[in-house]
Amino acid sequence: MGNDMPDPIEEGLEVMVTVTTNTSEPLTRAVITDDAAIHIFTALIFDQNNKLLYATEGVKRSGVFTFKLLSSGTALNIYFVANVQSSLVTGFTPGTALSTVKQQLSVLSSGVTNANGYPMAGMARLNNLPASFSNNLNVIMLRSTASARIVVNASIPVSKFKLVSVAVYRANDRVQVIPAADPANWNSPKVTEASPAGAKTNGVFSVDNTSTNSIDGIMVPEASPVTEANLQVRTPTVLVVGGVYNNSGKTTYYRVDFNSELPGHPFGQVLRNYKYTLNINNVDSEGWDTPGNAADNAASGTSVTIQNWDGNASNVTIDGPYYFAIPGQDVILPFYAGATVTIPVITNIPNFTASWDSPPTTSISPGGSFTNTYYKVDLAADKKSITITTRTNNYSAAVFSSTLYVKLVGQTVPISIKQSNYSSVSGGGCDILSLGNGGIGYLGTYTHWNSTAAEVKAAGLKALLVHPNNFGATGRVPTSRLNIFCEVNPQDDYIYLQRYIGTFNIIYLNEAVFSIGPNSAQVLIDWAKSSPRHYLIYMFDRAKYSPLTPYNLEILNKLGLTDITSYYATAGAYTQYSANYNDAAMSQIYKGPFGNVASGFSFRNIDAIHSEMNLAAAQSKGIKPILLGNEGGMLLGIDFTNRIVHCGDVDIFNALAGGIAQYINTDDATSGTANDATKLIANLWAYMIRTVSSN
């Protein structure tokens, strides 16, 4: 046995910290776009007095960034910076005050492009930082600039006004990357005042235009409000729109002010991470001859409505005196059944309806719901949201597409809904650790350069995992790599575990694993919970003939799963838990990429030496049963929230067909010869591998 007593945190040891990021975006944006891309990621580490300790650059691997930090027994404030030249971030002297770093860390506005990535900032507070692998952070990033969109009302024909160009005038020439005042909550960041940097310039940031009715993605640096009326003509940041009026063939220019007249948004104010939609509702004359003249004179000749919402309503439809604002008109959902997206709605319309066709044959009002083949739609009774849920798994070659039509008063807003197919989801890599060398059910190793055989009772599983038609670049489950490693002679040393297992994605604890202690058990559980790129599968199979006790008892104790009974019998049938067969969350396992497992399937096994978990106790802990043992307890189940698979009999991974056993096919699981046992196990592992490789 190794050291199983907790130690005090030792200062200054190297710690690998994994960081996943989200931009402050509405939920409907399921596909990452250019303005959310992160190319360079750095971290500034401050002590609890906000004095800089050091800075470091992250390394990207399989879609996440890893930082090499130093352990600390005291609190740390970590500011993350994206898409800013790393030398600018790491060049500050240790001891520099946070306020100074914020003020001096800025970039030229002219350098902010989609190609370079939008500068962003995020922050995380840690009470301490132990020398442990299980330091995984999810950081919400706030873009350091605003984005604007110009839209010509659909009621204005191109013959009356053709949109040609847009430019930003009197913009600040620099962008302060980290806001001067921290948001009230970095987990849901939002700024209420600008942090303008540099000086106002007459530089023009033009945007190429290929559309005649809208221009999107206009980068605008932050700007403070201009409240004095005599300064509101020649000092604020403005947009200048170029267009052709009444087919004259001549481009003239119109000024558009940032003046939404909404509470808390004074004239001229531009805030970071806001998306401003500026709707041109009417044009009644030619504009100015030059963009400069338009910028220096009060807006006239156009009627403009501005809706500025903090990233939650970037698409606004004006219908007479009414507006209907949603984040966007394109919704993309993942391939699996039960996926849900909620579209926030901001509107002053007394009532609106939704239908699958236009004009509608059947429609619903707020408070109602309806379905088609692929989707279920719910309109909130308070008119504040539209929820869309997928009804089926998409394992086809096509994308499932539908259009939802929202009828306002005189206008109809189409919302495109698409469900990706399974193979179109780009898969990252997956590294599997078989922990417990040489014991019953261990997987051996498998890499591109080396492979050792699995123990016989895991041979079926090993064959499924390593077949290129199942998992791999061209497999049914796309992954950039799949490697299996086996730990040789592991010891019960939780510190060793912390430092060793951090880079793996799936840990598989077979039967003859080392005698694990309580701290090591907690390390493995924390590892599973710490990242969406982790999954733990462990055996609680019968460990001894007398007394009958399960393996991995300390894991069960730490999880509060103590109602376990071990059995020693000669044969048995493990039945499918039928109540879960049509459960949306379970659909990827019962009806996964390797085919549908027949309803009522019974898993005939080599013998019935196994353990069962009390069914009610398992369900009370959020575990969804997959198979029941022949005594009615749970034999196999999955905890989707904590990413743990519980298995009471390692024999279900075998490749033997002796006696009444139902074996796992050792050939291609997609070949058409796969039995239900093969489909079940292949789908279960496909779900785990897809989860860890796509997050």
Q: Look at residues 606, 627, 610 and name the one whose alpha carbon lies nearest to residue 566.
A: 610
> pLDDT at residue 108 above 70?
yes
pLDDT mean over 389-408: 89
Mean pLDDT of the residues in the chain? 80
| Number of residues in the chain | 695
Identify the top-confidence range among 104-113, 161-170, 663-672. Answer: 161-170
CA distances from 343 to 264, 312, 328, 415, 537 (A): 24, 9, 9, 10, 35
Task: Say what the pLDDT of residue 26 is.
Answer: 29
User: pLDDT higher for 50 or 666?
Assistant: 50
Query: For the residues 90-97, what does the mean pLDDT come to?
Result: 95
Residue 661 has pLDDT above 70, yes or no: no
Residue 362 reports pLDDT greater than 80? yes
Q: List all residues 6 or more positions away from 606 whose beta carbon is below 8 Å from its beta carbon.
A: 651, 654, 656, 658, 659, 661
Cα distance between residue 294 and residue 285, in whole Å: 13
> What pLDDT was estimated at residue 432?
93
611 close to 540: Cβ distance less than 8 angstroms: yes
669 pLDDT band, cuts 50/70/90, is very low
Q: Which of 69-73, 324-328, 529-533, 680-684 has the highest mean pLDDT?
A: 680-684
| 321 band by pLDDT with thresholds 50, 70 and 90 | low
Residue 21 confidence class, pLDDT cut points 50, 70, 90:
low
pLDDT in the model for residue 63: 57
Mean pLDDT, residues 6-31: 52
pLDDT number for residue 472: 78
Q: Answer for the pair 244, 251: CB distance below 8 angstroms, yes or no.
A: yes
Bond prior to 8 in cis (omega within 30° of 0): no
Q: For the beta carbon of residue 611, count every other beta carbon within 10 angstroms.
A: 27
Share of the chain above pLDDT 90, in %: 24
pLDDT given for residue 29 in this prediction: 26
pLDDT at position 336: 79
Question: Cα–chain-centroid distance for residue 490?
Answer: 34
* pLDDT at res. 308: 41
> Averaged over 252-266, what is the pLDDT?
76
**Residue 609, amino acid:** I
**pLDDT score for 658:** 34
Token pair listed for 464 = 């499924």
In whole angstroms, give the CA distance from residue 404 to residue 80.
39
For residue 649, give the nearest of 594, 692, 606 by alpha carbon.
606
Q: For the chain, give me the number of helices (H) and strands (E)?
A: 10, 48
Strands 275-283 and 353-355: unpaired
Instruction: Decide if pLDDT at 6 tops 50.
Output: no
- Alpha-carbon gap, residue 600 to 616, rounded angstroms: 20
**23 pLDDT above the threshold of 90:** no
| Closest by Cα among 609, 615, 622, 595 to 676 | 595
User: What's the pLDDT at 490?
Assistant: 58
The predicted-structure confidence for 446-502, as pLDDT tens digits, reads as follows: 876 678 888 878 888 888 888 888 887 777 887 878 889 887 555 667 777 777 787
Q: Name the residue type at position 30.
A: A
Residue 127 has pLDDT above 60, yes or no: yes
pLDDT at 401 over 80: yes
Quote the pLDDT of residue 61: 65
Sole residue written with tokens 């962003």: 120
Mean local confidence (pLDDT), 511-532:
80
Q: What domains are there in the chain, each with its CATH number?
A: 14-143 (2.60.40.2580), 146-312 (2.60.40.2630), 329-423 (2.60.40.10), 426-694 (3.40.50.880)
Phi-psi region of 672 (alpha: psi -120 to 50; beta: other; left: phi over 0): left
Tens of pLDDT along 263-305? 667 888 888 888 787 778 778 788 889 888 888 877 655 544 4
Terminal Cα distance for the chain, rounded: 35
Q: Looking at the predicted structure, is the pLDDT value of residue 134 above 60?
A: no
Q: Name the helix (H) or strand (E) containing 198.
A: strand 196-200
Residue 582's pLDDT is what?
A: 83
Task: Look at 202 and 432; give whichever has higher pLDDT.
Answer: 432
Model confidence at 637, pLDDT cuts 50, 70, 90, reads: very high
Cβ proximity of 445 and 454 under 8 Å: no
Q: How far apart are CA 348 and CA 321, in angstroms?
A: 9
CB 333 within 8 A of CB 420: yes
pLDDT of residue 666: 43
The CA angle 319-321-324, to the nearest 5 degrees, is 50
Residue pair 189/140 in contact (Cβ under 8 Å)? The answer is yes
**Of 65-74, 485-494, 550-559, 589-598, where does mean pLDDT reach its minimum?**
485-494
Closest CA to 510 of 540, 465, 489, 534: 540
pLDDT value, residue 656:
57
- Give the dihedral sign, CA 527/530/534/535: positive
Residue of higher predicted confidence among 672 and 232: 232
At residue 128, the pLDDT reads 82
pLDDT grade for 397, boundaries at 50, 70 and 90? confident
pLDDT (0 to 100) of residue 544: 63
pLDDT for residue 364 is more than 80: yes
CA–CA gap between residue 439 and residue 489 (Å, rounded): 10
Among 681, 212, 136, smallest CA distance to 462 is for 681
3-state SS, residue 528: helix
Task: Evaluate if pTM is beyond 0.85.
Answer: no
Q: Is the pLDDT of residue 522 over 60?
A: yes
Nearest to 404 by CA among 347, 351, 367, 364: 364
Q: What's the pLDDT at 660?
A: 30
DSSP tag of 355: E
Dihedral over Cα of 499, 504, 505, 507: its sign: negative
Q: Specify which of 32-46, 69-83, 264-278 reaches the highest per-range mean pLDDT.
A: 69-83
Q: Is the pLDDT of residue 5 over 50?
A: no
pLDDT at 112 over 50: yes
φ, ψ for residue 403 (rounded to 5)?
A: -120, 125
Between residues 647 and 197, which one has the greater pLDDT? 647
Whole-number pLDDT of residue 18: 61
* pLDDT for the residue 129: 83
